[in-house]
Amino acid sequence: MLKHRGFPGRLTGTDYQFTIRRANPRGVTPLTRRERFADRKPADRRADTGFMKALWDHFGDQPFERGNLDAGRLSWLFGREVLPVDDPFDPESYDALLVIDETAARAAFPDAFKDEDWA
């Protein structure tokens, strides 16, 4: 399992996890698309925004390996802002390649990109 050096382990000041320390010995947690409903807690929304900002700052528009990124946190973005690169995609692989859909990410998480100057 690739460990993304320099990637934040969690949202600052919270227990919202962004990475895992080691591979799960019982098997890899699969990535699944989780629905984000409008009544989600503000803290959950901040965690999603913080995670998207960390993904963008670390990987930009380039494909990246799932590696030690937390499956639960990725699943909130998977299928919308974070898309599989490979076809067929293996949702239970630490080696799976993902990419950020920049247009969808900017629309869903404008605060994650507010420091950037783009047109």
For residues 61 and 99, the answer to whether their CB atoms sit within 8 Å is yes
pTM of the predicted protein model? 0.89
**11: closest CA among 45, 59, 37?**
45
Query: What Rg value do the Cα atoms of the chain yield, rounded?
Result: 14
Q: What's residue 119's pLDDT? A: 43
DSSP string, 73-115: HHHTTBTTTEEE-SSS--TT-TT-EEEE-HHHHHHH-GGGGTT
**How many contiguous H segments (helices) and E segments (strands) does the chain have?**
3, 3
Split the chain (119 residues) into runs of 10 and give each run's mean pLDDT: 90 89 86 91 92 94 94 95 93 94 94 69
